[in-house]
């Protein structure tokens, strides 16, 4: 394993246990799990962790990640979570068994590509039940589904929706029931089975667990609850999962006692911000080899509760280590828990090493 810093350590066994726990919870409610890999850039360590967990699909928003999934080899069907761009149509048909779509223009292009490739492509027609991100407006759904169903090489598998991402609208009995009713309307109008109803993402789990999610919803696309073990409505720990699944590791490249307030007249920092400082007196300050190029410092929580992340410029992360529980010196590794945004940033940064790791604490 490459021990260089900065690096992301992935505790595969913990992610595997999280996936199994969530698959079991979902199975009790008749829901199959499409595991979403984008927040870890579809890293091979994640893909391996997800094997034999009972998930039924691998899903990602990027073709680059789906290509990685294909290269690693999987027996599971794959799903593209974001409608493809014009120049990505052929790759979509090649790399994804199913894609989430709302535009007939795109589905027509997918149809032509599927015919060219001599294959078939599945689509889930997305409908917007209120979050104002992707999805046809409900009164267009029947039209779009019937037109898509007439396209050669296209199988309309069902309908789906996404909530809690842009507008922050929470999944509810009302919007989930609406999704089922819309599927039933489209089914009646077209005679298609439309057997797959993909009700949403990790934010749907609380409604599902309460027993209030309509039983027709039979698929959820789950990323954060598996990978970070969090209820995405409030980021609280999700039952039967662990949160200590990944760590960001940097090392100390300078260690000095300095005042906590800058000396001299202050203006904007390197990022155009006016920073305010808390006077804690003279403190032991570490510079770690991580910066805003890799991650926003507010998306890192020190594993050692004595440490305080003070801020960062492009390549220097400043951490108050006065109350650190371990003795520190140049070269000491400092560990952080990333938020979802912090994990997305570090996982997709080519400047951060990634490695499977064995936790040094249990």
Ligand X SMILES: *Cc1c(COP(=O)(O)O)cnc(C)c1O
Q: Tell me which residues touch ligand X (CB under 6 A).
A: 36, 38, 61, 81, 100, 162, 201-202, 221-225, 232
Three-class SS of 171-189: CCHHHHHHHHHHHHHHHHH
- Token pair recorded at residue 265: 């007249």
Give the Cα separation of 228 and 337 in Å (integer).
10
Q: Which is nearer to ligand X, 22 or 144 (CB)?
A: 22
SS3 253: strand
Minimal distance, residue 172 CB to ligand X, in Å? 17
Q: Which is nearer to ligand X, 59 or 93 (CB)?
A: 59
Give the Cα separation of 21 and 326 in Å (integer).
34
Give the Cα separation of 139 and 152 in Å (integer).
24
* CA-wise closest residue to 332 among 323, 342, 343, 321: 321
Minimal distance, residue 232 CB to ligand X, in Å? 5
Catalytic residue among 38, 157, 258, 354: 38
Please report which residue ranges of the chain form alpha helices under DSSP H: 12-27, 44-50, 63-72, 89-95, 104-117, 141-149, 173-190, 205-209, 224-227, 340-348
Chain position carrying tokens 């790399």: 95
Cα-based distances in Å from 274 to 267, 299, 309 = 7, 19, 17
Minimal distance, residue 224 CB to ligand X, in Å? 4
Minimal distance, residue 60 CB to ligand X, in Å? 8
* CA-wise closest residue to 9 among 362, 352, 339: 352
Q: Which is nearer to ligand X, 31 or 225 (CB)?
A: 225
Cα-based distances in Å from 7 to 3, 106, 136, 227, 293 = 8, 38, 41, 17, 13
- Token pair recorded at residue 38: 């984008």
* CA-wise closest residue to 253 among 315, 305, 308, 310: 315
Q: Which is nearer to ligand X, 40 or 250 (CB)?
A: 40
Q: 333-356: buried (b, 16+ CB within 10 Å) or exposed (e) per residue?
A: bbbbbbbbebbbbbbbbeebbbeb
Give the Cα separation of 195 and 62 in Å (integer).
25
Q: Which is nearer to ligand X, 160 or 291 (CB)?
A: 160
Give the Cα separation of 124 and 57 in Å (integer).
14
Minimal distance, residue 204 CB to ligand X, in Å? 8
Q: Which is nearer to ligand X, 121 or 221 (CB)?
A: 221
Q: Which is nearer to ligand X, 131 or 320 (CB)?
A: 131
Q: Count the residues in the chain.
A: 362
Q: Which is nearer to ligand X, 78 or 162 (CB)?
A: 162
The verdict on whether 354 is a catalytic residue reads no
The residue at minimum Cβ distance from ligand X is: 223
- The CA angle 154-158-161, to the nearest 5 degrees, is 120
Minimal distance, residue 325 CB to ligand X, in Å? 32
Kindly list the catalytic residues: 38
């Amino acid at each position: 394993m490459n021990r260089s810093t900065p690096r992301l350590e992935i505790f595969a066994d913990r992610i595997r246990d999280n996936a199994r726990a969530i698959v079991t919870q979902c199975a009790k409610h008749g829901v199959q799990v499409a595991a979403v890999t984008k927040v870890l850039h579809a890293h091979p360590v994640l893909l391996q962790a997800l094997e034999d967990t009972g998930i039924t699909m691998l899903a990602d928003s990027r073709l680059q990640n789906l290509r990685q999934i294909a290269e690693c080899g999987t027996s599971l069907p794959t799903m593209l979570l974001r409608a493809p761009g014009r120049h990505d149509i052929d790759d979509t048909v090649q790399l994804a068994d199913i894609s989430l779509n709302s535009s007939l223009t795109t589905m027509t292009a997918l149809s032509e590509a599927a015919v060219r490739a001599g294959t078939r492509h599945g689509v889930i027609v997305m409908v917007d039940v209120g979050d104002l991100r992707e999805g046809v407006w409900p009164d267009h759904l029947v039209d779009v589904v019937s037109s898509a169903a007439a396209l050669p090489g296209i199988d309309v598998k069902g309908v789906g929706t996404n909530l809690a991402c842009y507008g922050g609208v929470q999944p509810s009995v009302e919007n989930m029931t609406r999704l089922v009713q819309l599927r039933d309307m489209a089914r009646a109008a077209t005679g298609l089975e439309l057997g797959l109803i993909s009700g949403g993402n990790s934010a749907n789990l609380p409604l599902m667990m309460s027993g209030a999610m309509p039983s027709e919803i039979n698929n959820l696309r789950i990323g954060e609850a598996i990978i970070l073990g969090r209820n995405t409505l409030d980021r609280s720990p999700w039952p039967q999962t662990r949160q200590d699944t990944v760590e960001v590791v940097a090392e100390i490249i300078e260690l000095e006692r300095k005042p906590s307030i800058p000396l001299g007249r202050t203006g904007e920092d390197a990022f155009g911000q006016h920073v305010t400082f808390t006077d804690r007196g003279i403190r032991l300050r570490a510079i770690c080899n991580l910066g805003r190029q890799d991650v926003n410092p507010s998306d890192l929580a020190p594993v050692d509760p004595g440490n305080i992340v003070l801020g960062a410029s492009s390549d220097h992360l400043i951490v108050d280590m006065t109350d650190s529980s371990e003795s520190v010196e140049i070269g000491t590794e400092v560990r952080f828990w990333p938020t979802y945004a912090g994990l997305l940033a570090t996982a997709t940064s080519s400047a951060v090493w990634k490695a499977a790791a064995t936790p040094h604490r249990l």
